[in-house]
Amino acid sequence: MNTLIFRTMVGPIVTIMVIFSVFICLRGHNAPGGGFIGGLIAAAAVAVLGIATGATAARKALRVDPMVIASFGVAIAALSGLASMFTGSPFLTSIWAYWSLGETTVPLSTPLVFDIGVYCVVFGTIAAIALALAEEGP
């Protein structure tokens, strides 16, 4: 499975997978998708990279321990829920703000922030598991 062609093509494959995972995450609060499936796709990209280059090289490519990313995601998701306290609403109540960019208005929301937190949690956890399994070998 670890052929020259696979090792050569792993860069573009991983890049496309990560870009697609971010797209799925960002569209998820308004359409099918979201942080969970986006994080799974990104973790699968790390697993593919680990298969092609080895777990040590994949960890070096990440530059940050996957469990640190997962911890950051938990904090972001919790903070998105706490934002509703400033409006006197229950925990995890959606708050929307609209940012005007010329003729375009961009909606920003706490569900989007929550999805980003879930993305980081799922990505970090599954990537850590995949890399630990890759280090053990067959």
**Sequential pLDDT tens for the chain (138 residues):** 678 898 899 999 999 999 999 999 988 866 778 899 999 999 999 999 999 999 999 999 999 999 999 999 999 999 999 988 888 889 888 899 898 888 888 888 899 999 999 999 999 999 999 999 988 866
Full-model pTM: 0.89
Q: Given the structure tokens 């870009």, which residue do they identify?
A: 19
Determine whether 66 is exposed, middle or buried from the number of CB atoms within 10 Å of its CB (0-12, 13-18, 19+): buried
Number of structural domains (the chain) is: 1
Contact 85, 95 (CB under 8 A): no
Residue 52: domain span: 4-136
Q: How far is the C-alpha of 18 from the C-alpha of 39, rounded, in Å?
A: 9
